[in-house]
Chains A and B, each alone.
Chain A
Amino acid sequence: MQKKKKLVEYLIEKGLFITAIFSIVIILIIFIFIINEGIPAISEYGFLNFIFGMTWAPSDSQFGVFPMIIGSICVTLLSLLMAVPLSLLCAIFMAEVAPDSVRKVLKPVIETLSGIPSVVYGFFGLIVIVPLIREQFGGTGFSMFTASLILTVMVLPTIISVSQDAIRSVPSEYREASLGLGATNWQTIKNIIFPAALPGIITAIILGMGRAIGETLAVIMVAGNVPLIPGSIFDPLRTLTSNIALEMGYATGIHYSALFTTAIVLFIIIIVLLLVAHYFQKKYSMDAYGGHA
């Protein structure tokens, strides 16, 4: 009996370990595969030429992705610029202000928003937003601004629900202490609850950022996809992910390899962004012994 118990314990422990390892192995395999496929283009064209090259013209063997690096970063930042204030206010409203009845309606609605496939967002952008931008601001309507608007709506649910959870998990003792000192609700939210929830809110923003920089289909449908650095927010642009998806179908040889190198660049950008975000997360979380960690 005792022996059987021990065996079960052993199997469960190892089973959990294997599932945990499994996901790491898969990421590693993908990573190795991408690097392996990207190497021919890097060795032939040069990594620095690749990153800082201004021209993407596969037919002329020109593989500069700099405009797309700028494109990805611009479209992501602009959408976060719009989405973050909006979603934080919404999260604060849901977590601190809204009565239960309102929250019960709002929460599923926002969760549904995140369940809509990206092609639907892209289609909506193509049919509704693109003509609207064209009429209001001129140009073709396919632009950085259009893509950012669509991305804003797409990242809202992520940032709202994760930061809402962060706000709600602030211990109620802090709230009581602040109100007990005669602070108003808004003073308590601004000075106590929001700073205490900040690490969680930064996580929410990172997740939103990841979604924005990785989104491909909806962006392809409304961004215009010209591989040039946009001069204004109403110019078209191409993102790194779009670049891969647009040309994957027909690319061969070094062109094919260059698309994988694009993926490597995207990988590096995401890792850098994660490190920056991690730094801020650390900076704003207070540890128990001696102020800021």
Chain B
Amino acid sequence: MNRIESKNLQVYFGDNHILKGITTEIPKNTVTALIGPSGCGKSTFLRTLNRMNDLIPNFKKEGEVLLDGDDIYSPRLDVADLRKKVGMVFQKPNPFPKSIFENVAYGLKIHGHDDKEFIAQKVEESLKSAALWNEVEDKLDNSALGLSGGQQQRLCIARTIATNPEVILMDEPCSALDPISTTKIEDLIQKLKKEYTIIIVTHNMQQATRVSKYTSFFLHGEIVESNFTDKIFVEPKEQKTEDYITGRFG
């Protein structure tokens, strides 16, 4: 079953036409990679899925985005609820200037949980799922800003999964990290895909082949090609896709 569908999605920032008719389907409990050169609209598309683009003053969209069949831009829908269901991990690790514990507990608290035991248990679970627990269990009260970049990014993932999302959007989550941290995050993605639908934007083609089952290639605000990842990298149907993945431009 498809978790997310977009139908002829057009996005404008003021006069800039960023997305030009994106029609695609993203299946449940898999990893889908979005690749393409800078400025091709892949991040914009990702941020359309949890309505982060709403924060940009002159954002305008046409077409539909459906999550489990429901229009996420419907006026009846509560944006905060949507973002709870569709979590996001950002390009630059962005933990709050709070303790490690408070970072993970934050999402639970804002959604009305105040049972301390429940929160503590959930924080531990989330840090374990994010493969960070062993490194931080004895310094949960320390500032999250004292962690390394890779740890901070895993903390951000823990923070996201603490609120039980169904979909996790990742916007180049490893671009600011070293190779070892990158490997850890990629392993984590492999683990998480059993429970979550993951959509990852990446500039790194090896990363797309390592972590994803499906890949969509974006160019100039359109999807050139979508297919199984092992198909798209081995025998692309479109010349432009082949040019990009073989490094002829981008």
A residues near B (Cβ < 8 Å) are 100, 171, 173-184, 187, 191-192, 195-196, 286-291
Q: Which of B93-101, B177-185, B227-235 contacts A (4 or more CB under 8 A)?
A: B93-101
Please, which residues of chain B bring their CB within 8 A of the CB of A100? 57
Task: Indicate if B110 sits at the interface (CB-CB under 8 A).
Answer: yes
Nearest residue, chain B, Cβ from A179: B83
The contact size tier of chain B is: 20 to 34
Contact B94 A181 (CB under 8 A): no
Contact A181 B142 (CB under 8 A): no
Please, which residues of chain A bring their CB within 8 A of the CB of B84? 181-182
Please, which residues of chain B bring their CB within 8 A of the CB of A288? 143, 145-146
Minimum distance in angstroms from B46 CB to a CB of chain A: 11
Contact A290 B142 (CB under 8 A): yes
Nearest residue, chain A, Cβ from B91: A173
How many A-B contacts are there with CB distance less than 8 Å?
86
Contact B87 A180 (CB under 8 A): yes
Nearest residue, chain A, Cβ from B169: A180
Q: Which parts of B97-146 form the interface with A (CB within 8 Å)?
A: 97-99, 106-107, 109-111, 141-143, 145-146
Q: Which parts of B142-193 form the interface with A (CB within 8 Å)?
A: 142-143, 145-146, 156, 159-160, 163
Minimum distance in angstroms from A141 CB to a CB of chain B: 48
Contact A289 B83 (CB under 8 A): no
Interface centre among A177, A179, A287 (most CB of B within 10 A): A177
Minimum distance in angstroms from A145 CB to a CB of chain B: 39
Partner of A286, one of B97, B109, B111, B159: B97
Please, which residues of chain B bring their CB within 8 A of the CB of A290? 142-143, 146
The 7 closest A-B pairs by CB, nearest first: A182-B84, A173-B94, A180-B88, A182-B83, A181-B107, A289-B146, A288-B145
Minimum distance in angstroms from B70 CB to a CB of chain A: 16
Query: Bound state CA distance, A192 and B109, in angstroms?
Result: 13
Write out, one digit per residue, whether chain B residues 208-230 have a CB within 8 A of any chain A CB (1) or not (0): 00000000000000000000000
Please, which residues of chain A bring their CB within 8 A of the CB of B95? 177
Contact B146 A182 (CB under 8 A): no
Contact B143 A176 (CB under 8 A): no
Contact B83 A181 (CB under 8 A): yes
If over half of A's interface residues share one DSSP class (helix, strand or loop), that class is named, otherwise mixed; here it is helix
Nearest residue, chain B, Cβ from A183: B110
Interface centre among B81, B85, B90, B94 (most CB of A within 10 A): B94
Q: Take A182-B107, A286-B98 as given contacts and tell me if A177 and B80 are in contact as well, using a CB distance cutoff of 8 Å.
A: no
Q: Take A180-B88, A181-B87, A287-B143 as given contacts and tell me if A191 and B110 are in contact as well, using a CB distance cutoff of 8 Å.
A: yes
Partner of B143, one of A177, A180, A289: A289
Nearest residue, chain A, Cβ from B94: A173
Task: Indicate if B77 sits at the interface (CB-CB under 8 A).
Answer: no
Q: Which parts of B50-69 form the interface with A (CB within 8 Å)?
A: 50, 52, 55, 57
Contact B143 A179 (CB under 8 A): no
Q: Take A181-B84, A181-B163 as given contacts and tell me if A291 and B110 are in contact as well, using a CB distance cutoff of 8 Å.
A: no
Contact A182 B143 (CB under 8 A): no
Q: Take A288-B143, A290-B142 as given contacts and tell me if A191 and B106 are in contact as well, using a CB distance cutoff of 8 Å.
A: yes
Task: Indicate if B240 sits at the interface (CB-CB under 8 A).
Answer: no
Minimum distance in angstroms from B117 CB to a CB of chain A: 21
Partner of B94, one of A176, A195, A287: A176
Interface centre among A183, A191, A195 (most CB of B within 10 A): A183
Contact B145 A286 (CB under 8 A): yes
Query: Bound state CA distance, A105 and B4, in angstroms?
Result: 43
